[in-house]
Amino acid sequence: MDEGQEDLGAVFCGIDWAEDHHNIALVDQDGTLLAERRIGDDAAGFAALLQLLVEAGDDPDTPIPVAIETSHGLLVACLRATGRPVFPINPMSVSRYRDRHSVSRRKSDAGDALVLANILRTDLAAHRPLPADSELAQAIAVLARAQQDAVWARTHAHNKLRSLLREYYPAILLAFATKRGGLLRPEARALLATAPTPCAAARLTLFQLRALLRRAGLQRGLDAEAIRLQQILRADYLHHPPLVEEAFGRQALALLRQLDTACGNAEDLADAATEAFAEHPDAAIITSMPGLAALTGARVLAEIGDDRARFTDARGLKAYAGGAPVTRASGKTTAVTHRRVKNQRLASVGYVWTFAALTASPGARGHYDRRKSAGDRHVAAQRNLFNRLLGCLHHCLATRTQYDEATAFPTTSSTPAARAA
Judge whether residue 377 has pLDDT over 50: yes
Q: Residues 379, 354: contact at Cβ < 8 Å?
A: no
User: Distance (Å, rounded) from C-alpha 392 to C-alpha 395?
Assistant: 5
Residues 65 and 150 in one domain: no
User: Distance (Å, rounded) from C-alpha 39 to C-alpha 205?
Assistant: 68
Tens-place pLDDT, residues 325-367: 888 888 888 887 877 888 899 999 999 999 999 999 999 999 9
Residues 252 and 338 in one domain: no
Q: Residues 53, 30: contact at Cβ < 8 Å?
A: no
In this prediction, residue 156 has a pLDDT band, given cuts at 50, 70 and 90, of: very high
Residues 254 and 330 in one domain: no
Q: Over the Cα atoms of the chain, what is R_g?
A: 28
Of 248, 275, 302, the position where a domain reaches its end is 275
Dump the DSSP string for 128-169: -PPP---HHHHHHHHHHHHHHHHHHHHHHHHHHHHHHHHHH-
Judge whether residue 51 has pLDDT over 60: yes
Of 97, 130, 163, the position where a domain reaches its end is 130
User: Distance (Å, rounded) from C-alpha 345 to C-alpha 302?
Assistant: 9
Tens-place pLDDT, residues 98-152: 887 776 677 788 889 999 999 999 999 889 999 999 999 999 999 999 999 999 9
Name which of 379, 388, 416, 418 is nearest 318 in CA terms. Answer: 388
Residues 288 and 416 in one domain: yes
Of 130, 161, 190, the position where a domain reaches its end is 130
313-352 b/e (C-beta count within 10 Å ≥ 16 → b): ebeebbbbbbbbbeeeeeeeeeeeeebeebeebbbbbbee
Residues 270 and 311 in one domain: no
Tens-place pLDDT, residues 313-334: 999 999 999 888 888 888 888 8
391: containing domain: 284-420
Residue 323: its pLDDT value, please? Answer: 83
Residues 301 and 191 in one domain: no
Cα 29 to the center of its chain, rounded Å: 37
Residues 124 and 144 in one domain: no
Whole-number Cα distances in Å, 378 to 277, 338, 347, 368, 369: 31, 14, 15, 9, 10
| Number of folded domains that form the chain | 3
Strand ranges in 18-64 using DSSP code E only, listed in sequence order? 21-28, 33-40
Residue 273: its pLDDT value, please? Answer: 97
Residues 77 and 166 in one domain: no
Residues 311 and 201 in one domain: no
Judge whether residue 393 has pLDDT over 50: yes
Residues 327 and 406 in one domain: yes
264-287 b/e (C-beta count within 10 Å ≥ 16 → b): ebbeebbebbbebbeebebbebbb
User: By three-state DSSP, how is residue 312 classified?
Assistant: coil
Q: Residues 321, 347: contact at Cβ < 8 Å?
A: yes
Tens-place pLDDT, residues 66-79: 999 998 889 999 99
User: Distance (Å, rounded) from C-alpha 5 to C-alpha 10?
Assistant: 7
Residue 5: its pLDDT value, please? Answer: 44
Cα 61 to the center of its chain, rounded Å: 35
Q: Residues 316, 398: contact at Cβ < 8 Å?
A: no
Residues 371 and 408 in one domain: yes
Residue 170: its pLDDT value, please? Answer: 94
Residues 306 and 416 in one domain: yes
Tens-place pLDDT, residues 249-293: 999 999 999 999 999 999 999 999 999 999 999 999 999 999 999
Instruction: Return the half-sphere exposure (C-beta side, CA atoms, 13 A cut-off) of residue 112.
Output: 21
Residue 10: its pLDDT value, please? Answer: 86
User: Distance (Å, rounded) from C-alpha 262 to C-alpha 158?
Assistant: 9
Judge whether residue 414 has pLDDT over 90: no
Q: Residues 108, 5: contact at Cβ < 8 Å?
A: no
User: By three-state DSSP, how is residue 33 classified?
Assistant: strand
Report the CATH number at residue 34: 3.30.420.10
